[in-house]
Amino acid sequence: MLTQVNYPNAAGINNVEWDAVELPSQFMENWCYHRPTFFSMAKHYETGEPLPEPYYQKLLAARNYRSGSMMLRQLHFSFLDLELHARYDPDSEESPRQVRDRIVPSTTVLPPLAEDAFLCSFGHIFAGAYAAGYYSYIWAEVLSADSFAAFEEAVLEDDTALTQVGQKFRDTVLALGGSVPPMEVFKQFRGREPKTDPLLRHSGLAESEQ
């Protein structure tokens, strides 16, 4: 809706590479934890009564539940996908199962069961345009977390600062679509290349400051 591109094939999410196309949707999820935004919409549809405070606190408490496990899971899938598409030789003596076994120690806490047949159901590596692109899920999280960090740096309770950052986000990420390479769009918004620190912090995985 906010595109400034006159060509449909490059407007909105069209022509945006897979590893950046999820940025806007994942970015918007952050506002569900921003108290003013949350309570502006978490109301009874008939009475307008706001959601009871305890439920909001439960939402905050559950935000990072097993986030480390989920991060490892996504990394496991991503590394396995890339390994099978980029380096696996079907004529070698190594089987796809053995490829996964090599990746397991660095990306899982518990090894798969002997009868595990996960590879047979991992449809993303063969269909849905995600072949060799599963990493895009977690890379889009990096982009979205770093984008939201711009709003945090502007101070989330400062409406004037938020408006300015929001306008810049609208004029770049939401307006340029696929008319400009995603990295260039991001750098126009943030003024630099993306960093992983905000994602680790939002996930509760960053080392706490002393």
Q: Is the pLDDT of residue 210 over 50?
A: no
Which phi and psi (to 5°) does residue 180 adopt?
A: -135, 140
The reported pTM is 0.89
- Residue-wise pLDDT tens digits, 132-182: 889 999 999 999 999 999 999 999 889 999 999 999 999 999 999 999 999
Calpha distance 84→102 (Å, rounded): 12
Q: What is the pLDDT of residues 81-99, one digit of tens each?
A: 999 999 999 999 999 999 9
Band the pLDDT of 18: cuts 50, 70, 90: confident
Q: Which two tokens stand for residue 179?
A: 């008319």
Please give the Cα distance from 127 to 134 (Å, whole number): 11
pLDDT band at 104 (very low <50, low <70, confident <90, very high): very high
Domain boundaries, the chain: 67-125
Has residue 207 got a pLDDT over 60? yes
In the block, tokens 């090599």 appear at 102
